[in-house]
């Protein structure tokens, strides 16, 4: 592990070096500690990338208690070829809000300690798409964002009424912290907003008021996603409950009305409802054009339509999915905004990548075997209609109820090994089982199990329609 210093800075530790890269040519190896770059101690991988972008990079490297100077000569902008141990080397800015809906408060005990860390760090917002409330944002943070053009950022809005927002965040600074959003927009920073809707708190008339406030105060926002509250079986907050169908229908209707208003006022829809709302309301998804390029696909907006387009071959390149808000906590590649999902003989498959062939992590069954597609209960409502169009009796969708988290959790990204094992244990051994890689982080499920722990062989494929279609064509 990297040595700790009084400044709370953890110096970058080299995890791996790309073969043939400038770093390898100049003798950098896994286990090296980078003490300075050009005389500066980098705070995070953002600064790391800026400092290593030049054609000459002066490093001070520690190895086995020996300090040496390494001057790397490379092409301007050429990657150094080093993966480091984490995305942030100084202390992660933790969250001091006490939101009742916070999913981290709803996690079961016994998971990796890093999963319980709540961040409110604008750097992780830039790197991974994590949402920040800006309640711990400062003038110095604003200066850095503007100077280094850290864009886009992702901001949790929840409500534009100061009192309601402070109540939802359980933080009095929540009433005033959206002033930083205004400052970011004033300086041309691209910002995507989010509203987590909690029934009885910020839905109905409050949601109307929030979207009116967005139009009035923050019309430069790139987009706003409206997502439902997730309630696990470990929730202890009395005010937090899942939506009813009627409430979901009202949210969808509210969003559609405001899309019309935004179109008239700004020439774009700006606000979008999460796919989950359409599934809960049992109403059709909007057509693909309504998503205006899917700006918030990675936040569950338009994933169903994207999957459909990919599956049908209507789009050339898969959109892909991001790693999810759990993925950053165990460290990240120096050049990385996406954590790797799995290691395979064919190489590393990242959440933002796609493959034209499935990534096989076990011995592949015969190609004519019946196929089962493993997915969350919500995902089954999306994939099922696509499979029906194939008119294939040998392909079925196998929903995996989420007993590990419980509650209304049904997304595929939160499937865990234990629940998959329960479902698979009753399934035929000689069938093919396709598993989306979105539920894995560095080859492990959130409960710590791996695919090797499952009672049936599975094929892990990229989470997109193209990979799914290709895997099925192999049958």
Question: How many other CB atoms are found less than 10 A from the CB of residue 172?
Answer: 13
Phi, psi at residue 122, to the nearest 5°?
-60, -25
Instruction: State percent of the chain over pLDDT 70.
Output: 87
Mean pLDDT of 265-286: 96
Mean pLDDT of 301-314: 91
Mean pLDDT of 402-428: 96
**104 vs 109, 231, 370, CA distance in Å?**
11, 11, 38
* CA 209 to chain CA mean position, Å: 28
Residue 102's Cβ-count burial label (10 Å; 0-12, 13-18, 19+) is middle
Mean pLDDT of 450-454: 95
Pairing of strands 66-73, 56-63: antiparallel
Kindly tell me if the per-residue pLDDT of 416 is higher than 60.
yes
List b or e across 189-204, with b for residues whose CB sees 16 or more CB atoms inside 10 angstroms.
bbbbbbbbbbbebbbe
**279 vs 252, 260, 343, 375, 410, CA distance in Å?**
11, 22, 33, 15, 11
Average pLDDT, the chain: 87
Q: Using a cut of 0.75, tell me whether the model's pTM lies above it.
A: yes
Q: Domain 103-301 belongs to what topology? A: TIM Barrel (3.20.20)
* The two three-digit tokens of residue 256, written as one number: 């559609």
Binned at pLDDT 50, 70 and 90, residue 296 comes out as: confident
Would you state the pLDDT for residue 298? 78
Contact of 266 with 219, CB cutoff 8 Å = yes
Kindly tell me if the per-residue pLDDT of 8 is higher than 80.
no
Would you state the pLDDT for residue 353? 34
- The C-alpha atoms of residue 366 and residue 475 are separated, in whole angstroms, by 8
pLDDT digits (tens, 9 = 90+) for 107-145: 998 887 877 888 899 998 988 888 999 999 999 999 999
**135 vs 12, 322, 329, CA distance in Å?**
28, 25, 21
Ordered by start, the domain boundaries in the chain are 14-84, 103-301, 329-473
Mean pLDDT of 449-464: 94
Q: Which residue's structure tokens are 């309640």?
A: 135
Would you state the pLDDT for residue 317? 61
pLDDT: which is higher, 319 or 139: 139
Kindly tell me if the per-residue pLDDT of 438 is higher than 50.
yes
Would you state the pLDDT for residue 328? 34
Contact of 118 with 102, CB cutoff 8 Å = yes
Give, as one character, the DSSP assignment of residue 283.
Answer: -
* CA 297 to chain CA mean position, Å: 10
Binned at pLDDT 50, 70 and 90, residue 345 comes out as: very low
pLDDT: which is higher, 114 or 251: 251
Kindly tell me if the per-residue pLDDT of 350 is higher than 70.
no
Kindly tell me if the per-residue pLDDT of 41 is higher than 90.
yes
Mean pLDDT of 33-57: 92
Kindly tell me if the per-residue pLDDT of 444 is higher than 80.
yes
* The two three-digit tokens of residue 96, written as one number: 């001091």
Kindly tell me if the per-residue pLDDT of 269 is higher than 70.
yes
Alpha helices in 98-158 (DSSP H): 122-128, 139-148
Kindly tell me if the per-residue pLDDT of 3 is higher than 80.
no
* The two three-digit tokens of residue 246, written as one number: 């009627």
Q: Where are the beta strands (DSSP E) in 274-357?
A: 340-344, 347-350
Binned at pLDDT 50, 70 and 90, residue 6 comes out as: very low
Would you state the pLDDT for residue 346? 34
Kindly tell me if the per-residue pLDDT of 192 is higher than 90.
yes
List b or e across 21-45, with b for residues whose CB sees 16 or more CB atoms inside 10 angstroms.
bbbeebebeeebbbebbeeebbbbb
Kindly tell me if the per-residue pLDDT of 360 is higher than 50.
no
Would you state the pLDDT for residue 319? 57
Phi, psi at residue 120, to the nearest 5°?
-140, 50
Kindly tell me if the per-residue pLDDT of 149 is higher than 90.
yes
- The C-alpha atoms of residue 271 and residue 248 are separated, in whole angstroms, by 16
Would you state the pLDDT for residue 284? 95
**CA torsion sign, 364 to 370 to 376 to 378?**
positive
Phi, psi at residue 194, to the nearest 5°?
-140, 140
pLDDT: which is higher, 261 or 322: 261
Contact of 398 with 375, CB cutoff 8 Å = yes
* CATH superfamily assigned to domain 14-84: PDZ domain (2.30.42.10)
Kindly tell me if the per-residue pLDDT of 162 is higher than 50.
yes
């Amino acid at each position: 592990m990297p040595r700790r210093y009084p400044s709370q800075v953890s110096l970058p530790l080299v995890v791996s070096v790309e073969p043939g890269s400038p770093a390898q040519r100049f003798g950098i190896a896994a286990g090296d500690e980078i003490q300075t770059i050009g005389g500066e101690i980098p705070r995070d991988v953002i600064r790391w990338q800026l400092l290593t972008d030049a054609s000459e990079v002066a490093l001070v490297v520690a190895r086995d208690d020996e300090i040496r100077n390494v001057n790397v000569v490379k092409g301007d902008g050429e990657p150094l070829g080093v993966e480091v141990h984490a995305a942030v080397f100084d202390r992660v800015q933790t969250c001091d809000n006490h939101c009742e809906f916070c999913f981290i408060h709803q996690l079961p005990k016994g998971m990796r300690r890093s999963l319980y860390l709540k961040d409110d760090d604008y750097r992780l917002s830039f790197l991974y798409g994590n949402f920040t409330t800006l309640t711990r944002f400062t003038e110095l943070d604003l200066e850095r964002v503007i100077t280094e053009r850290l864009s886009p950022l992702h901001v949790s809005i929840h409500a534009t009424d100061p009192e309601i927002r402070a109540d939802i965040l359980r933080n009095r600074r929540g009433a005033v912290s959206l002033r930083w959003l205004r400052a970011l927009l004033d300086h041309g920073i691209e910002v995507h907003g989010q509203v987590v809707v909690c029934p009885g708190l910020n839905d109905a008339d409050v949601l109307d008021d929030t979207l009116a406030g967005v139009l009035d105060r923050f019309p430069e926002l790139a987009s706003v996603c409206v997502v439902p509250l997730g309630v696990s079986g470990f929730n202890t907050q009395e005010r937090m409950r899942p939506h009813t169908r009627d409430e979901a229908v009202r949210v969808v209707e509210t969003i559609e009305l405001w899309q019309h208003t935004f179109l008239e006022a700004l020439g774009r829809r700006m606000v979008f409802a999460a796919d989950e709302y359409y599934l809960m309301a049992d109403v059709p998804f909007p057509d693909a054009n309504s998503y205006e390029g899917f700006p918030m696909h990675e936040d569950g907006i338009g994933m169903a339509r994207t999957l459909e387009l990919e599956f049908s071959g209507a789009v050339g390149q898969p959109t892909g999915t991001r790693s999810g808000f759990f993925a950053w906590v165990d460290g990240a590649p120096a050049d990385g905004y996406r954590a790797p999902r799995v290691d395979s003989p064919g190489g590393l498959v990242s959440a933002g990548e796609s493959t034209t062939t499935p990534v096989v992590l076990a011995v592949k069954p015969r190609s004519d075997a019946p196929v089962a597609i493993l997915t969350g209960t919500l995902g089954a409502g999306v994939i099922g209609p696509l499979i029906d169009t194939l008119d294939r009796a040998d392909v079925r969708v196998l929903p995996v109820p989420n007993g590990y988290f419980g509650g209304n959790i049904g997304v595929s990204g939160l499937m865990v090994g234990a629940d998959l094992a329960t479902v698979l244990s009753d399934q035929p051994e000689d069938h093919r089982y396709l598993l989306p890689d979105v539920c894995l982080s560095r080859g492990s499920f959130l409960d710590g199990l791996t695919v090797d722990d499952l009672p049936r062989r599975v094929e892990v494929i990229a989470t997109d329609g193209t990979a799914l279609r290709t895997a099925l064509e192999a049958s």
